[in-house]
Amino acid sequence: MKKTLSTTALALSLMLTGISSLQADDHAKQALIILTSESLQTQGMAMVLGNAMQSAGAQVDVLLCDKAGDLALKATQSESLKPQDVTPEMLLGRLMQNGANVNVCALYLPNSPHSKEDLRDGIGAAMPPAIGAQMLQENVRVFSF
């Protein structure tokens, strides 16, 4: 019984040490959020999680593709989401204010009636070689919504 408790305590200690070092390591990470969903709640949750990762010390970048590219448009005004009564655009703006790079996919503008002038200030059009290189970096985690 004493040996089992010692083994359990050692395992728990190692696990906690591993978790704390993982958390410290995560602060040095970068995150790339690729958002394609037109669902308001999915867009909102992707931005909420992006802000949470950013608050934890990660560099967060966002790539808006397909219908999610509409978030990049100055004219887009989504409904507010509960419980904070914020829109995905507001959450995206907060990400940008805190250093996130935001781009629409390279295919978004050429396949829509919109131009670069229709995009919110600070949002650009992605270059596939740059995004591909970013995705391949060891310290970048890619999240797709």
- Tell whether the model's pLDDT for residue 62 goes beyond 50: yes
How many whole angstroms separate alpha carbon 38 and alpha carbon 70? 9
Residue 32, classed as helix, strand or coil, is: strand
- Higher-pLDDT residue of 28 and 130 is 130
pLDDT, position 20: 40
- Higher-pLDDT residue of 50 and 23 is 50
- Which H or E element spans position 43? helix 40-55
Inter-CA distances, 144 with 61, 65, 92, 135, Å: 12, 11, 15, 12
pLDDT, position 90: 98
- Which H or E element spans position 35? strand 30-35
How many whole angstroms separate alpha carbon 81 and alpha carbon 117? 27
pLDDT, position 28: 57
- pTM exceeds cut of 0.75: yes
How many whole angstroms separate alpha carbon 65 and alpha carbon 68? 5
Q: What percentage of the chain carries pLDDT values higher than 90?
A: 81
**Do 61 and 102 contact (CB within 8 A), yes or no?**
yes
- Tell whether the model's pLDDT for residue 36 goes beyond 60: yes
Overall fold of domain 28-144:
Hypothetical Protein Ychn; Chain: A, (3.40.1260)
Structure letter (DSSP) for residue 51: H
pLDDT, position 8: 35
